[in-house]
Structure 1
């Protein structure tokens, strides 16, 4: 076991052992990779500054890195000056946003994750068929705002909990469909869908799974290691839906878990008595933050690392055509 030296040069007490179980897959997904690349290429194509409506992805480290390259982040299109390009975030935007950009003559690049766009197109098709949509998601999340904004008011109702699913009283229960936010808890969502299918047997399900592959894979990876851990740290932003769900998944496995943004947020008192620590990262958190955390832990513990991979991801999404030349 390694030992350190005191200022006087005498050996200090050896560092306590800590075994790290690192989940895989973790960190960036294909949609996040694509969104970040879109901002970088837009800066190359148009020159700085390039405006981005809302955080491109929910991670302060990523956002600060793009700011340093020339991106300016704003919450609303009204905050974008005339004559400059604007990028729409990976979470998607209501239809009214690109329409307003076109009215103002703004050149824009849409970085919406293709899997979110798939949900948008499904919503449009279902409304065209005359169905009322029950949308499972978290009120106020940018993805939910963007999806609700794809269709006219009143044709989609938000379902946040199983209690909502039990209580909803649609005017035409025989003509329903449901869709879901892409970053939800797989288990919670399955429970709500079960309620909806029991209450409305003819409800139309989405074509394929709406919860994205990366969300599902990261939750499964946490489940795979949680029972072998005394505690788990999830690297991600407090406004990152998929990262918060990873904390919940760990806790439901009976493991204490915390969300941290950076290694500096580690509470070593909270780790007292922990001999096996699980580590994962939300889909918006880069791998550099995982290594930063491991390095910080190594200042207090004699660590050993083991990665547990549950599935290999190889998804890649195409870039928008208007950035092909910059790429």
Structure 2
């Protein structure tokens, strides 16, 4: 046998031994141990990735780890994220973690073995937050080790501002949601102890609020959604803004999405017309500054419009005819008295 053939045989034997010793990884899995795994075993499955993702999570079809063994998920830099030990579980997703790459490390002792694990899916998010809303909203649930400040909530010309939480739910004492003013002064910090639904913040001076979410590594929760806000101007007139960034009558709960640019433009015009009408009415002392619940406040634009003018003219005409008729009756009675 030639030296070349001998080398080929030795190389094949070497590759066979290496492949036989490698942990199992089927074409349908991203990372998978032998079933069962062996004692005194240590191996890291690296580079389970979703290129371009800002957050990532894994799906286990099966997980069965003995009491003295542990399976650890690490980030791309080798930092421990979560460790499973003494657990049997199937068909579940991990929590979300920041980054586009995760690693999985299995370390076993010598006190028995178990099935092991199989990871069959990876999922990524490409944005830092839900992007279809103009007001801040986190992912549901948010990710561990997450830090992000949303674009400013800014309403130029406002003297006071506040926002409404449809929901706020934080998981861990290390997770916090912070509100800042336009100069980055901290206004209030919410933790899991302030979680709640359907509530308003306090009023804050200025026309801008900033929202920042900071999370730890001990679990996640729903997060938060801000669905509307209110502002006051220098005349103390209150108006509402929503996800669509429109200004509304304060008695309006929420604006739906209009279909077509024409309806959007019309709504913007009507909202502006109402606000201007309110300001004129306050200036003329027709309305009180804080009278935002009355019929007059809600319909002031019609009073100043052609419809309102027509209605007032009609009412005025009726009043005039009634007075004229009353005057004619009085004159008729006076003439009768004079004739007698």
**TM-score interval, normalised by the smaller of the two chains:** under 0.3
| TM-score where L is the length of structure 2 | 0.25
| TM-score where L is the length of structure 1 | 0.26
More helix by share: 1
| CA radius of gyration, larger in | 2
Structure with the larger RCO, 1 or 2 (CA within 8 Å, 6+ apart): 1
More strand by share: 2
